[in-house]
Structure 1
């Protein structure tokens, strides 16, 4: 039986990956910083770790052949100096403790699959980004993703296959960005941000987990964009949601300066534009369940 070690297993993407592991009859070990979240069931076993204190239960590696690394402090918090340090350190430290564990313990791990983000690509309304894009965003998020990927690359020194999955806007009805966009629309207060022309490279939660599983099952290495084949603009996303929810959009677009006052530097998450393609993973055989935004939203909001 294949055994997978997952960090960040209780997050939005992590829960969906765990679900798909169970569907494929894989056994899951997961790491958690909360001892209260440790459960021990058949094929689902929790282990304690605290990367900031360099603590980890070494038995988490027992029988594991693949590590899926998703852990990291949420980007969706005010970017104070203190929070910025935590956002970055949480990604680098958690990878480092895993690297040192593998370097110093006998193990069977052959593959390390790390989450990353499309925030590594520069803001653009016209470019169409592939994994081969050399330019990198100079924003705080761009810097975080660069360090995040660098921390994953070190596992190649241990002769482990490394994959980095650049995740776009993950759509889920209960968690992530979608509920925050849906709620104002439900109350007739929906509106696009800025010009509304900024690209949203989205992906349904089923497909983002599906890509992680596809990389695992096919032993793929390298960088992969986890976005649906058809990105849309912020304005189009807002319109599609309003139509599905049978609500009208009558408010003017929300100006950038307003959101900057409310959110501070983090407001760029709403205004940055990255149009990203998924051709590489498709060419390798992954078949998306949700190619277009309408059926994806219908599935989530039904």
Structure 2
């Protein structure tokens, strides 16, 4: 199978490429940096620039499925200009892919898009699954709605569309875990706010395995990408500290302080999302790391 990947040099994309190549699939990837274009057996890079509507049309040749991971990092201060970049980086890139597939003969059968759990309402007690109609009225929730709408357009081309609403991705190569571990390693670790906010998470290996599972089984629709065992911010902080053999003695960090430091983006630290992954499990997917202690231990082994 030949898969076209956007965001292939990012945190998730790098691991996804490794897995596909290990399974003898061929990978085409799109990059905005010409210096990152590589040509190897089963691994070929192509240039694109969504802002300028430029794309090397050869990228679609003999491709069976597209995985769309590209998008500006949400873990940066949300100025008005950067908010616009967060939205446009997802929508413009999706539109460029749509127009490419629509205008050129191809064999693409499936479009798989990254998505986010931010679409679900805030709650410590309620558990949300893919059938939830209620959504949150926030900046990130609106980003997810537009993101998924742009993916759904591919359905009119008789292409199966699948969206993975991803929780907190745990990796020691980037994302939330190294940032949480930094102050803990220095002896300044502490939970955020009340520490009760629920964080639905997934080990990076399970996430890339899920993308592969979705592709190989031609799944469509929405799937939550998080384990069945969400935990509180306090519990996650404690597990990281115990794994690193570091003490936790500081009081929890007040929400108002983080808002002063990070602005609106501090929402990411205090958001509470308790989501169910029953649907993907019933489809046959098995998590390698369903428990937080084993996941963190693996990443720091």
2:231 aligns with 232
Aligned 1:168-183 pairs, distance under 5 A: 168-183=167-182
1:272 aligns with 271
1:258 aligns with 257
RMSD over aligned Cα atoms: 0.5
2:146 aligns with 147
Q: Which whole-Å CA distance do the structure 2 matches of 1:19 and 1:174 have between them? A: 14
Look up the SS of the partner of 2:132 in the other structure: coil
1:159 aligns with 158
**Aligned residues between the structures:** 301
Q: Which whole-Å CA distance do the structure 1 matches of 2:185 and 2:228 have between them? A: 27
Look up the SS of the partner of 1:4 in the other structure: strand
Aligned 1:271-290 pairs, distance under 5 A: 271-290=270-289
Q: Which whole-Å CA distance do the structure 1 matches of 2:122 and 2:293 have between them? A: 25
Asked whether 1:216 is paired with 2:241, we answer no
Q: Which whole-Å CA distance do the structure 2 matches of 1:8 and 1:133 have between them? A: 28
**1:93-132 CA distance string (max 9 Å, x none):** 0000000011110000000000001111111111101011
Aligned 1:21-170 pairs, distance under 5 A: 21-170=20-169
Q: Which whole-Å CA distance do the structure 1 matches of 2:105 and 2:283 have between them? A: 32
Q: Which whole-Å CA distance do the structure 2 matches of 1:241 and 1:8 have between them? A: 28
Q: Give TM-score, length-normalised by structure 2.
A: 0.99
Spell out structure 1 runs of 4+ moving beyond 4 A.
none
1:194 aligns with 193
Q: Which whole-Å CA distance do the structure 1 matches of 2:243 and 2:113 have between them? A: 34
Q: Which whole-Å CA distance do the structure 2 matches of 1:129 and 1:179 have between them? A: 27
Look up the SS of the partner of 2:45 in the other structure: strand
Look up the SS of the partner of 1:25 in the other structure: coil
Q: Which whole-Å CA distance do the structure 1 matches of 2:46 and 2:191 have between them? A: 43
Q: Which whole-Å CA distance do the structure 2 matches of 1:212 and 1:120 have between them? A: 20
Q: Which whole-Å CA distance do the structure 1 matches of 2:276 and 2:210 have between them? A: 14
Q: Which whole-Å CA distance do the structure 2 matches of 1:291 and 1:172 have between them? A: 14
**1:214-262 CA distance string (max 9 Å, x none):** 0100000000000012110000000111111111111100000000000
Look up the SS of the partner of 1:84 in the other structure: helix
Look up the SS of the partner of 1:244 in the other structure: helix
1:3 aligns with 2
